[in-house]
Structure 1
């Protein structure tokens, strides 16, 4: 069964409220458990292919799901053993165990391990004996499947509550995605992910998993200025600005140019990239400019600070990246009407959190609070990129290839987002579109690519999204 809202991502408390709404509508915990366990059993059955299965059941309702899984698999002729280091403590789990009708064993070896020890809502580490039991069973089963969440994972931030937790080939989420499914470090240990529908409805203010955007060709009567003029400010390391501008040329904007300053003749550029060597004063008098990108290679000198101040004072759609993030202060945004799009990596995000007074929060909470603080859009980039926008729900990008972890790819992303801004796309959508172009281009580039080779794949990525 396909979930009605397959993209929403819930916190543990939101999931509890969603389940309570189902109960208030006439469901029972037992019927929900049957639905969840049977749906998970379908996936386990496909993977097991009649090989021996061990189900590790905990004391709560996640363990109850495990007893349902064991019963359904046994009814289908799959050899099943249940390991239950703690007997069921909830009424629903006790009923599920009774319906299973078997007797747990203290240890087991088989082909497939199904982890139903603990799921959503676990807030403390596993004790030593449970951790040892889990890791021993994981070591003796070549195929490992987690139900709802791998045991020992914080549902709301993806942190591992214990060291040495197992890795899984498959994780089956029950009812809705949780933050941990799409956030590091947990995401890296979950393998493939599948969602089982139990009837959860739309949850107000839920985060969502980003879906591919639909891009379009220019209008039939388009010209370079109608498609958007983007200005990329260069600084102490102008190569980064050129890299971002080259990416932006493939992101949809009709005209991309680099502003290098009056005395800056330090770098060659491709023949199709315009470099402006005028003054900032002359630059901002050009009313054809649709968007700015500031930060790649900018430096952190007084001159860099002055360039950032000047650009922000122009009050046009602006992407703030790299060095500009370190120079950004709350008062610099006070008179602006257009939101900025900030694109920090993890270290820059922490620094911004200190500057804007939201330190000490989880990464998702930081991104959300910072989006409110800058009255704009935060792209907290990394292997689990988060996009937070003032007045909108948090979006989480599906994971991209880890080959993006190379120098210059952040400049490429900033250029793509800025290009979408220059095209007139609203800042939140521009951020998501840029991230999708970036991820798809990386997939097409294959392994061991450079930032320049990543740019070469952007046209094909754009075509895939049309």
Structure 2
């Protein structure tokens, strides 16, 4: 698992560790890692040209000490001091002692134009708002020079705790972060500015406490997924019910069932008007045309994809939400459900909106949801007492309890922005619910597999391509 902690948690952990260490040790650990990554990016340190954009405080100090280490290895290092009177005194002295030099912003143009590598030490993890105009101008010069940009702890101008970007921000090629990931490094829009991530262990360890955000890795997903045993049969492995599709949208039924069949449950029951299309593609499906209650026993329901907005569709959503098994609500089901019906449920509920649907449920503009994805997914989970999978450039999964870390999906590709891909995801997640995975595990494992299958599918891909590739994404 990859963990991310809030700024306050990091500061508390640093304070606890610094109380046990000699002065300056923590900064030297950070600088050593920062210099090592810089050397990797350069390839050849001796004779290279490095610029350190140094703001005030410890972030600038980390960058200055890293610059001193590269200067001792033969790099020509120039520090551009954004606030000369508040520059980190010891870091600046170390750079000068190693043969580096320091200039003010008025003399920055020439060294930036010749730079091979630029360290962004402008603002630390406590910074709020976008870059100030002077810093933004410096970064535009850096981009024009086509120097590699290495951000110190996180790109300046992004919010470390939320991933929000309120103005101009640094666009890094590599971000070297210390002790733990920061939520903003894993969540868009900030994550899209971080480049490749490198985590440097500086010894914070158990002092960090409970993470705010976590991201599954392949071993975590492999440990979660259902595996049939010698005594398994199709009913013991779980049966998932799919209420999806309509005369107008039969393809949604096929796609949701396709995802469910590849999700590890023992059987799929389909209820709706797309039965003929479903059977033509998946003859193993158990199809019925009556109400969900009359379809037979299931261990979880998926309701909503392509359902339309008819009275019959609304009734089907109400019936499913009244059941005593886990339920996943997607697409049209999100418009047709009532908040009271969701809050009244005793079994787990999973909601899978995209940003537009989340905006409608929260009464916010879509742009506000996309800019503040972490806040939106937490607010939605709390308001509905449900596990929420918020789809998008960064897919997030939040549990109803604010004490649980939000999960961020590390897989996926922009090619998933194609018709029907969400239907496949809902069927896959519903199948994992039927196989008895807890709601957050089912949603986050489904997002992981769905994204990985898309990566494994040659573009341009279709939703059905993703469903077909799912077995290749399944960890062995």
Quick check: TM above 0.5? yes
Q: Are the structure 2 counterparts of residues 443 and 88 from structure 1 closer, same or farther at C-alpha, using a change threshold of 3 Å?
A: farther
Cα-to-partner distance string for 1:144-201 (whole Å, 9 max, x where unaligned): 21111112212222233324x4532211112221122111122222221111112223
CA contact (8 A) 1:113 1:138 kept: no
Q: Partners of 2:227 and 2:153 in 1: how far apart?
A: 41
Using the TM superposition, give the Cα deviation of residue 78 of structure 1 relative to its aligned residue in structure 2, in angstroms: 2.3
Using the TM superposition, give the Cα deviation of residue 274 of structure 1 relative to its aligned residue in structure 2, in angstroms: 3.0
Cα-to-partner distance string for 1:403-454 (whole Å, 9 max, x where unaligned): 1111111111111100101111111111122112101211111221111111
Using the TM superposition, give the Cα deviation of residue 205 of structure 1 relative to its aligned residue in structure 2, in angstroms: 4.6
Secondary structure of 2:51's match?
A: strand
Structure 1 gap segments, 5+ residues each = 1-5
Q: Calculate the TM-score normalised by the size of structure 2.
A: 0.88
Which residue number in structure 1 is paired with residue 16 of structure 2? 21
Matched, 1:249 2:249: no
Q: Partners of 2:277 and 2:79 in 1: how far apart?
A: 69
Matched, 1:69 2:74: no
Candidates 281, 294, 307, aligned match of 1:298 = 307
Deviates more, 1:448-457 or 1:122-131: 122-131
CA contact (8 A) 1:154 1:160 kept: yes
Matched, 1:39 2:33: yes
Which residue number in structure 2 is paired with residue 3 of structure 1? none
Using the TM superposition, give the Cα deviation of residue 291 of structure 1 relative to its aligned residue in structure 2, in angstroms: 0.8
Q: Partners of 2:229 and 2:209 in 1: how far apart?
A: 37
Candidates 88, 94, 102, aligned match of 1:99 = 94
Using the TM superposition, give the Cα deviation of residue 352 of structure 1 relative to its aligned residue in structure 2, in angstroms: 2.1
Candidates 269, 276, 281, aligned match of 2:280 = 269
Matched, 1:412 2:418: no
Q: Partners of 1:190 and 1:440 in 2: how far apart?
A: 21
Cα-to-partner distance string for 1:307-352 (whole Å, 9 max, x where unaligned): 1111110121111111111223221124321110111111112222
Candidates 278, 282, 290, aligned match of 2:290 = 278
Using the TM superposition, give the Cα deviation of residue 68 of structure 1 relative to its aligned residue in structure 2, in angstroms: 0.5
Q: Calculate the TM-score normalised by the size of structure 1.
A: 0.90
Secondary structure of 2:340's match?
A: helix
Deviates more, 1:40-49 or 1:73-82: 73-82
Q: How many residues align?
A: 448
Matched, 1:365 2:362: no
Q: Partners of 1:119 and 1:269 in 2: how far apart?
A: 58
Q: Map 1:18-417 onto structure 2 (within 5 A).
A: 18-26=13-21, 28=23, 30-48=24-42, 49-50=44-45, 51-87=48-84, 89=86, 93-101=88-96, 102-105=100-103, 106-107=107-108, 108=111, 109-163=114-168, 165-201=169-205, 202-212=208-218, 213-214=221-222, 215-236=225-246, 237-260=249-272, 269-270=280-281, 271-283=283-295, 286=296, 288-354=297-363, 362-391=372-401, 392-417=404-429
Q: Partners of 1:196 and 1:264 in 2: how far apart?
A: 54
CA contact (8 A) 1:70 1:80 kept: yes
Q: Partners of 1:146 and 1:80 in 2: how far apart?
A: 16
Secondary structure of 2:346's match?
A: coil
Using the TM superposition, give the Cα deviation of residue 57 of structure 1 relative to its aligned residue in structure 2, in angstroms: 0.8
Cα-to-partner distance string for 1:326-385 (whole Å, 9 max, x where unaligned): 223221124321110111111112222239xxx989321232233233333111111211
Deviates more, 1:366-375 or 1:191-200: 366-375
Q: Partners of 1:266 and 1:170 in 2: how far apart?
A: 48
Deviates more, 1:43-52 or 1:263-272: 263-272
Secondary structure of 2:425's match?
A: helix
Deviates more, 1:265-274 or 1:13-22: 265-274
Secondary structure of 1:136's match?
A: helix
CA contact (8 A) 1:55 1:116 kept: yes
Secondary structure of 1:407's match?
A: coil
CA contact (8 A) 1:210 1:398 kept: yes
CA contact (8 A) 1:18 1:200 kept: yes
Deviates more, 1:250-259 or 1:182-191: 182-191
**What is the alpha-carbon root mean square deviation over aligned residues?**
2.3
